[in-house]
Structure 1
Amino acid sequence: MSDEKVIRLNVNRKDFEEIYFKGNQGSLFFSPTTKSKTIITIIVALIFFITFCLKGNLSQESFGVLYFISFVFLLCAVYLSVAINKVSRWKKEVNRYLKSLEKAGIYEIRFNSETFNVNLNDQHELSTWKEFTTADINEDYISLEGKYNYMFPQKSMTKQDYNILIQAVKKNIK
C-alpha cells in the first residue's frame, strides 16, 4: 500500500446530519448528555412544588425541608443549564462545519502507508497514521480521532472506496 490512494467524497449535508444528530444527539433537553439531568430536575421541581403547596401543614421546625429542597432544585437547574450550554455549543460547531461542507468544491482523502491527508477546498490537513489514537468503523461511517478528528459517512463515497478506506484504517491504526 505504498502508492497513494485518493477518495473523493460527495458532500450531502443529510448524510452527515444523520450521523451527528443520531439518537437525539442535538436535542437540548433529551440528548444523551442532558437527559438524566432533565429528568432529575423535573422530579425535584415536582417535589418542591408539592412541598410548597403543603407548606401550611409543615411545623415551624420543618421549614428547613422546604429550604433544602429549593436548594437542591437550584443546584439541579444549574447543572442542567451547564449541560444544555455544552450541547448548544457543540450543535453550533457541528452546524458551522456542515455549512462549510455544503460550500465545498473539493473534499477528498489522500492516503498511503505513511500519511493521511484530507483536502477540503484546498485546505490540507496532513497527518501520519501514528497520530491517530482511535478509529471507529461501522456500516454507517468511519471516524478517526487524533491530531485531527474526522468522520466519513459511508453514503458520501462509493462502496469500493469505503472498503478501501476500512482496510487502510484497520491496517494502519492499532
Structure 2
Amino acid sequence: MNGEKNIRLHVNRKDFEEIYFSGNQTSLFFSPTTKGKTVTTAVIGLILLILFCFKGDLSKEKFGILYFVSFLFLLCTVYLSLSINKVSKWKKEVEKYLKSLESRKLYQINFNNDFFNVNIDEDEESSHWGEFNSFEINDKFISLEGKFNYMFPSKSMSKADYDSLKQAIKKNIKE
C-alpha cells in the first residue's frame, strides 16, 4: 500500500448505537461497570437485613458486627452510586456524539503507510500509526485507541473498504 487510501463512511446512527449500546452497556445497575457493585451491595444489604431481624439475639460484645456491616453497606452504596453516575455520563456523551454525527455531511478516513486521518466535515484529526496503542477488530466494528479513539462500524463502509482498513491496521499497529 504505497498510495493513499480514502474510505467514505455512510453514517447511520443505528449502526453506531448497535455497537455502543450492546451488552447492557446502558443499564444503570447491570452494565459491565456496575453489575459487580450491584450484586455486592445487594448481598451486603441482605446480610444487614438479617442482622437487623436478629439484633435482639446479639450480645453487647457482638453488636459491633451490626455497625461494621452497616458501614460496609454504606460504602458499597457510595461506590455503586459513583459507578451509576459514570455510566449515566458515558451514555449522555455517546448520545451527544451520535446526535452530532447525524448532522455531518462528510465522514472520511484517509490513510497510507505513515499517517491515519479522519475528516469529519473538514474537522481533520491526523495521527501517525505509532500513536495508536491498541485496536480491536471483529465482524461488527473496528476500534482504535491512542492519541484519538475511533470506532468504525463495518456496516458504514463497503466490504472491500472494511477489509482494506483491517489489513492496514494489522500491518501498521503493533500490539
Q: Distance in 1 between matches of 2:43 and 2:130?
A: 48
* 1:168 aligned residue: 168
Look up the equivalent residue of 1:36 and give its one-letter code. G
Give structure 1 stretches of 5+ with no counterpart. none
Q: How does 1:6-85 map to 2 (within 5 A)?
A: 6-85=6-85
- Tell me whether 1:87 sits opposite 2:120 in the alignment: no
The alpha-carbon deviation at position 56 of structure 1 amounts to 2.1
Residues in 2 aligned to 1:103 and 1:53: alpha-carbon distance in whole angstroms: 58
Structure 2: runs of 5 or more not aligned: none
Shift of 1:85: 1.5
Q: Give 3-state SS (helix, strand or coil) of 2:151's partner.
A: strand
Specify the alignment match of 1:122 in structure 2: 122
Give per-residue Cα distances to partners, 1:42-87, cap 9 Å, x unaligned: 0111111121122222223322111111111001111111111221
Identity %: 65
> How far apart are 1:33 and its partner, in Å?
1.1
Show CA shifts across 1:20-59 (max 9, x none): 1221112111111110110010011111112112222222
TM-score (norm 2): 0.95
- Report the equivalent of 1:137: 137
Q: Distance in 2 between matches of 1:31 and 1:147?
A: 27
Tell me whether 1:149 sits opposite 2:165 in the alignment: no
Deviations 1:120-162 (A, max 9, x none): 1211001111111111111111111111010100011111110
Is the partner of 1:108 in helix, strand or coil?
A: strand
Aligned partner letter, 1:11: V
SS at match of 1:30: coil
Shift of 1:12: 1.0
